[in-house]
Amino acid sequence: MIINNLKNLGSKIDQTIFACLMVILVVGLVTLYSADHSQTNEFISQVANITLGLIGLFVMSNTKPKIIFTYTPFIFIAGLILLIWVKFFGLESNGAQRWIDIGILKFQPSELMKLAIPLTLAWFYQNNENNITVQSHVIASIILGIPFYLILTQPDLGTALMISFSAFAIIFSAGLARKFIISSSLLLLISSPFLWHSLEKYQQSRILNLLDPFQDALGAGYQTIQSLIALGSGGLIGKGWMNSTQTQLNFLPEATTDFIFAVYSEEFGFIGVLAILSVYIIFLLRLSFMTSRMQDTFSRLATLGLIVSIFSGVLVNLGMISGLLPIVGAPLPFFSYGGTSMVVSLVSIGIIMSLYSHKSLIAN
């Protein structure tokens, strides 16, 4: 009976997705082993993070979409409260307040928003699915706006951008008229100088640095340069596992978190990069296919939002370490060291599996 139950438990798991995930997680752990020089032994705690995340994945994949749908507003409100909490009582590190310390573990509420925003917007459109008007899109924007502002002012530009990407994708797919897309793009363009001034000094210098990182090699350009050196010196086949000089000699900053893929690139070369990114692409295609098969607005929009949330994370991270984007602080999903990000990402996949495998839920 127990075996039967376990079988049932596994039945909601999509095999392609799970296989892709396992490859990425294992490669991530192998790379972390090489990159980790800290006293705290991040490797062991990452194994714990993954275990916790996979349990979350299993649990969520077996949770009925109805329940997820019902609890969505609470997740959002809880996330907002945590964000406000972090604003006043959060732990500060590297000039940003992003953490909440609840005794045994530290927790990043902004990561939770990567999950909460897609679910909430999908929930909102589902509730108004017969009457989606311009007004709906405005309300959706407000739902995004509040957490966006709280995260941006932490400050955490990377996460703020990623949740807005996923929100825009949902609003866009929920049928935003073409003229609004064009006019809001124009609005963004016009307001960009003001947005520029609202950025922190260090954020501005990071963006400027993108144009010429070597100009300020020891200052703001340092991280980009060291990352580019790691990538470039890795070459086609890489220096081999544990042989990254950039990492072993500590030239590469944040080698276990934001820059872990630079370590991977240095040790396994372009061949390795191509291999793992192929897995990510299969992963994306499979998730897209699953989305297209979904029946209800909530499932479709939530899944799409989560996909964009995860893959904009992938793109921002890779763009950052390869010098295409400024250093904004974005972990590589399923790869970088970090508890909240890992658990939230895996739980998101669990939710997608649930929405996919249970198919017709809201119908009842």
Binding stretches for other proteins (CB under 8 A): 129-130, 132-133, 169, 172-175, 226, 228-236, 245-246, 249-251, 265, 269-270, 273-274, 277, 280-281, 284-285, 288, 291-292, 297, 300-301, 304, 307-308, 311, 314-315, 318-319, 322-324
Quick check: helix, strand or coil at residue 254? Answer: coil
Cα 166 from Cα 308, distance rounded (Å): 5
15-35 and 260-292 helices cross at what angle (nearest 10)? 170
Smallest distance, Å, CB 307 to other proteins? Answer: 8
Considering beta carbons, is residue 110 or 226 the nearer one to other proteins?
226
Considering beta carbons, is residue 62 or 303 the nearer one to other proteins?
303
Amino acid at 66: K
Smallest distance, Å, CB 319 to other proteins? Answer: 6
Structure tokens at 153: 């002012």
Considering beta carbons, is residue 146 or 182 the nearer one to other proteins?
182
Considering beta carbons, is residue 115 or 301 the nearer one to other proteins?
301
- Sheet strand arrangement including 91-93: 91-93, 96-102, 105-107
Smallest distance, Å, CB 41 to other proteins? Answer: 20
Smallest distance, Å, CB 268 to other proteins? Answer: 10
Cα 264 from Cα 251, distance rounded (Å): 15
Smallest distance, Å, CB 87 to other proteins? Answer: 32
Give backbone dihedrals phi and psi of 315, rounded to 5 degrees, phi first.
-65, -45
Considering beta carbons, is residue 8 or 183 the nearer one to other proteins?
183
Cα 291 from Cα 307, distance rounded (Å): 9
With a CB cutoff of 8 Å and minimum separation 6, the contacts of 249 are none
Smallest distance, Å, CB 269 to other proteins? Answer: 6
Smallest distance, Å, CB 20 to other proteins? Answer: 14
Element (H, E) at 91: strand 91-93
Considering beta carbons, is residue 145 or 232 the nearer one to other proteins?
232
Burial letters 113-130, b for 16+ CB under 10 A, else e: bbbbbbbbbbbbbbebee
Considering beta carbons, is residue 55 or 132 the nearer one to other proteins?
132
Smallest distance, Å, CB 168 to other proteins? Answer: 10
Considering beta carbons, is residue 172 or 202 the nearer one to other proteins?
172
Cα 157 from Cα 146, distance rounded (Å): 14
Considering beta carbons, is residue 41 or 133 the nearer one to other proteins?
133
Burial letters 1-11, b for 16+ CB under 10 A, else e: eeeeeeeeeee
Considering beta carbons, is residue 56 or 329 the nearer one to other proteins?
329
What is the DSSP code (8-state) at residue 153?
T
Smallest distance, Å, CB 100 to other proteins? Answer: 31
Smallest distance, Å, CB 324 to other proteins? Answer: 6
Contact 147, 170 (CB under 8 A): no
Structure tokens at 92: 């500060």
Contact 269, 235 (CB under 8 A): yes
96: β partners: 93
Structure tokens at 298: 């909530």
Q: What is the DSSP string of 311-329?
A: HHHHHHHHHHHTTSS----
